[in-house]
């Protein structure tokens, strides 16, 4: 259906642009509450996380862990020849999971009477969206409440020859059906490190280039150094403090990358390139200016602590609103907007920000870091233990890493970091103690089943020095 500016817009109670984490939960909950909800999505049913980001990447990371076990079969008493890798099977396992997730999403949209509109949405005026339908034609939609949830995309740095080389982003990497002989990863951040290790475990030669002098420079130095040592030990080559000056060739065939570091210049010859150099919000070209929705200096939608934009009745959530780029944070955005719409109060200010990097071992963190505490002059007591002290890690043969906690003068936990097997699973009990304002002794004095990894928290908090 074509429309002109004079066309009558279809009216909903709530309109959501983009089916990412917060948007989809808002649609399900508000639809379930009896509101007339429409959700506009151009490609990924349920957003990036289940389709092209968190879940498929962790699926591949897990396949890589199995490949890594397979390389250690003798250690576990299995005298089998080292098996080969078939990337089509790895990809198909991931695809099957994604298809199942999409199915779950579709059923939930239907169950909550959400009108799911497949198409590209653009604001054409205040609270007025035009949707170019995938099936052809367009629709003009309006609502009293609109939620913008357009997410972010991988950026490809402006380096001579890089775009022409058609590097993979995470989207293409997740669809690989052959094993790269030599993968050059640009960026040693979350995406770069998780994929670098997975591909190395499948059998690729992997080189990672990053302009930072050390891995994950916001993390404590002991964390960066240990992670770098462990990943380096698996054969990944890191070129840190390095500048990628130019690229020639084409990813998937052969590429040559000219890289400069303090040690001089070298040319890395690889077969594939993965651009993992950061992300940019999807906030351009969607008519935000026409709707009175302002951006801040880094291109995110400007929001207040309840995620209200500068336009009346319009909220923004997730990556496009500049919330830290994690699905669990986007989920909290959903809770904030839902409660705000109900007239309750829940804000982004001061919320906890836990995260887990899914390398193996994992890196999990919440609260204050030790290097930051030193810089700020915050007084703390440090408890630090090697993961090998958690006896469960010895049964697994995965004793690498350490964990540590910073304790304040009032015995509360200021920060917690774990670099070790399944470290992400250790965060929640510590977060609970922190958010409830409990002293560290609450965890120290628990009876925790033996032998579990969580039992390590008892050992860690027993190692807090006296005042």
Ligand X SMILES: Cc1cc2nc3c(=O)[nH]c(=O)nc-3n(C[C@H](O)[C@H](O)[C@H](O)COP(=O)(O)OP(=O)(O)OC[C@H]3O[C@@H](n4cnc5c(N)ncnc54)[C@H](O)[C@@H]3O)c2cc1C
Is 36 strand, coil or helix?
coil
Residues 350-389, one symbol each (x = binds ligand X by CB under 6 A, - = not), give: --------x-------------------------------
CB nearest ligand X: which residue?
20
Residue whose structure tokens are 């351009």: 284
- Among ligand NAD, ligand X, none, what does residue 249 contact (CB within 5–8 Å per kind)? none
Span 259-278, contacts to ligand NAD by CB under 6 A:
276-278
Among 37, 49, 293, 301, binds ligand X (CB under 6 A): 49
338 binds, among ligand NAD, ligand X, none (CB under 5 to 8 A by kind): none
Give the three-state DSSP class for 101. Answer: helix
Spatial separation of the C-alpha atoms in residues 332 and 59, rounded to whole Å:
24
Distance CA 450, CA 456 (A): 10
Least separation in angstroms between residue 327's CB and ligand X is 4
Q: Are the C-beta atoms of residues 434 and 421 closer than 8 Å to each other?
A: no
Q: Are 163 and 156 in contact (CB under 8 A)?
A: yes
Shortest spacing between CB 330 and ligand NAD, in angstroms: 11
Q: Is 114 annotated as a binding-site member?
A: no
- Is residue 334 near ligand X by the rule CB under 6 A? no
Site string for ligand NAD, 189-228 (x = CB under 6 A): xxxx-x--------------xxxx----------------
Task: Evaluate whether 266 touches 179 at the Cβ level (below 8 Å).
Answer: no
Nearer to ligand NAD, 29 or 248 (CB): 248
Beta carbon nearer to ligand NAD, 3 or 325: 325
150 marked among binding-site residues: yes
The token pair at 334 is 């959903």
Is 187 assigned to a binding site? yes
Count of residues that interact with ligand X, criterion CB under 6 A: 36
Among the listed residues 244, 337, 406, 426, the single contact to ligand NAD using CB under 6 A: 244
Query: Looking up tokens 């934009």, which residue turns up?
Result: 309
> Which one of 48, 145, 309, 359 is in contact with ligand X (CB under 6 A)?
48
For ligand NAD, the closer of residues 291 and 363 by Cβ is 363
Give the burial class of 280: count Cβ atoms within 10 A of its Cβ; 0-12 exposed, 13-18 middle, 19 or more buried: middle
Distance CA 190, CA 192 (A): 6
The Cα angle at residue 47 between residues 43 and 50, in degrees rounded to 5: 110
Please tell me whether 385 is known to bind a ligand.
no
Task: By CB under 6 A, tell whether 64 contacts ligand NAD.
Answer: no
Instruction: Tell me: is residue 307 an annotated ligand-binding position.
Output: no
Is position 84 annotated in a ligand binding site?
no
Please report, as residue ranges, which positions from 271 to 300 form the binding site for ligand X (by CB under 6 A): 282, 286
Which is closer to ligand X, CB of 365 or CB of 392? 365
3 binding ligand X? (CB under 6 A):
no
Hey, which bits of 262-299 come out as E strands? 264-270, 272-275, 279-281
Q: Which stretch binds ligand X (CB under 6 A): 46-54, 65-73, 133-141, 409-417?
A: 46-54
Question: Strands 10-17 and 37-41: what pairing?
Answer: parallel
Residue 23 annotated as lining a ligand binding site: no
Are 60 and 170 spatial neighbours (Cβ–Cβ below 8 Å)?
no
Active site residues: 450
Q: Which of 59, 63, 149, 417 binds ligand X (CB under 6 A)?
A: 149
The candidate with the shortest Cα–Cα distance to 149, out of 296, 50, 46, 54, is 46
Q: Answer yes or no: are the C-beta atoms of 147 and 16 closer than 8 Å.
A: yes
Read off the tokens for 23. Answer: 């948007």
**Which 8-state DSSP code applies to residue 295?**
B
Q: Could you tell me if 201 and 65 are in contact, meaning their C-beta atoms sit under 8 angstroms apart? A: yes
Binding site for ligand NAD (CB under 6 A): 157, 186-192, 194, 209-212, 244, 276-279, 325-326, 355-358
Binding site for ligand X (CB under 6 A): 17-22, 40-44, 47-49, 53-54, 57-58, 120-121, 149-151, 170, 191, 282, 286, 318-320, 325-328, 330, 358
């Amino acid at each position: 259906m074509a429309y002109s500016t004079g066309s009558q817009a279809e009216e909903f109670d709530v309109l959501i642009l983009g089916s990412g984490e917060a948007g989809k939960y808002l649609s399900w909950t508000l639809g379930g509450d009896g509101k007339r909800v429409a959700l506009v999505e151009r490609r990924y049913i349920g957003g990036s996380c289940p389709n092209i980001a968190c879940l498929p990447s962790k699926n591949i990371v897990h396949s890589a862990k199995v490949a890594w076990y397979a390389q250690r079969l003798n250690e576990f008493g299995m005298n089998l020849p080292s098996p080969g890798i078939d990337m089509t099977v790895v990809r198909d396992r991931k695809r099957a999971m994604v298809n199942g997730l999409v199915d779950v999403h579709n059923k939930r949209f239907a169950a909550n009477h959400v009108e799911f509109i497949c198409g590209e949405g653009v604001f054409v005026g205040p609270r007025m969206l035009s949707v170019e339908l995938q099936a052809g034609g367009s629709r003009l939609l309006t609502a009293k409440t609109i939620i913008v949830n357009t997410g972010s995309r991988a950026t490809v740095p402006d380096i001579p020859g890089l775009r022409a080389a058609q590097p993979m982003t995470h989207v293409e990497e997740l669809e690989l059906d052959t094993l790269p002989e030599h993968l050059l990863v640009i960026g040693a951040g979350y995406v770069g490190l998780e994929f670098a290790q997975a591909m190395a475990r499948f059998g690729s030669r992997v080189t990672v280039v990053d302009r930072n002098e050390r891995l994950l420079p916001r993390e404590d130095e002991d964390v960066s150094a240990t992670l770098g040592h462990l990943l380096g030990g698996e054969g990944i080559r890191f070129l840190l403090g390095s500048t990628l000056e130019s690229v020639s060739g084409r990813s998937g065939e052969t590429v040559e990358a000219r890289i400069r570091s303090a040690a001089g210049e070298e040319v890395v010859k690889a077969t594939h390139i993965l651009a993992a150099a950061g992300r940019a919000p999807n906030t351009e070209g969607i008519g935000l200016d026409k709707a009175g929705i302002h951006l801040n200096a880094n291109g995110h939608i400007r929001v207040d602590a309840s995620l209200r934009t500068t336009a009346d009745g319009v909220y923004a959530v997730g990556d496009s609103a500049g919330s830290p780029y994690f699905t669990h944070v986007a989920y909290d955005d959903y809770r904030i907007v839902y409660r705000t719409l109900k007239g309750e109060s829940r804000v982004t200010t001061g919320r906890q920000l836990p995260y887990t990097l899914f390398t193996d071992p994992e890196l999990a963190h919440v609260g204050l870091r030790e290097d930051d505490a030193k810089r700020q002059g915050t007084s703390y007591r440090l408890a630090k233990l090697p993961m090998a002290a958690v006896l469960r890690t010895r049964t697994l043969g995965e004793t690498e890493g350490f964990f540590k906690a910073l304790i304040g003068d009032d015995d509360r936990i200021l920060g917690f970091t774990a670099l070790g097997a399944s470290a992400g699973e250790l965060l929640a009990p510590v977060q609970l103690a922190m958010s409830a304002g409990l002293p560290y002794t609450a965890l120290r004095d628990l009876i925790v089943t033996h032998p579990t990894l969580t039992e390590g928290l008892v050992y860690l908090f027993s190692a807090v020095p006296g005042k």
